[in-house]
Amino acid sequence: MFPRSARALSLVVSLALPTALLPALPALAGDDVVEFATDDEAMNRATADARASLNAALDYLRYSDGSYPANLSVKVGFPIEHPDINTEVIWIDSLRDLGDGQMHGQFANAPNAIPDASLGSPVTFARAEVVDWSYYDGQSLYGNYTTRTMLPHLDAAQAAQLRQLLSEDPRLPQ
């Protein structure tokens, strides 16, 4: 836990993977969160790396109609009003590119602090708000930069299960 002053500037980062991946990870079902301070160097580096690879991943996976495969999700940071945190970061799936930098999808996890939102609620967001992405090819998880950063903060069983699924290189093979 962070001291109260740091918690006011913290992120709630959803550990739970998108619902489309839960059959591959039955023990990880749920909406666990891990708190990180906004100045956490490892998480900020993970977010920067994810954002740097996002456009290439989305361009590679986008269908001609602007939709994406069901096993692609993005993690988006939503500002919230809460006494202890200012952002909830959560997975979004069922993605569609709306153009002009906007995307549409559905909450792939149950939000913990976003009012009037639940698992499956529709949401529109700016591509610039994406902090991570995840693509499951049936064997390995690509992307998941923030998930990789959370591994040391998880219990050993969860971390081991995730390590088995995470690709060695987070970037998509081209």
In a domain, 137, yes or no: yes
Q: How many CB atoms lie within 10 A of CB 25?
A: 17
- Determine the pLDDT at residue 112: 84
In a domain, 170, yes or no: no
Are 24 and 165 in contact, with CB atoms under 8 Å apart? yes
- Determine the pLDDT at residue 67: 96
In a domain, 64, yes or no: yes
119-133 mean pLDDT: 96
In a domain, 9, yes or no: yes
In a domain, 66, yes or no: yes
In a domain, 116, yes or no: yes
**Is pLDDT above 50 for 16?**
no
Q: CA-based angle 71:27:73, to the nearest 5?
A: 20
The tokens for 28 are: 């990880």
In a domain, 174, yes or no: no
Average pLDDT in the chain? 83
pLDDT tens column, 76-110:
999 888 887 788 889 999 999 999 999 999 999 98
Are 30 and 16 in contact, with CB atoms under 8 Å apart? yes
- Total domain count for the chain? 1
In 3D space, the residue among 89, 86, 87, 82 whose CA is nearest the CA of residue 108 turns out to be 89
Question: Could you list the residue range(s) of the whole structural domain that residue 159 is in?
Answer: 4-165
Give CA–CA dist 61/56, Å, rounded. 9
In a domain, 142, yes or no: yes
Say which residue, 62 or 10, is predicted with more confidence.
62
- Determine the pLDDT at residue 32: 63
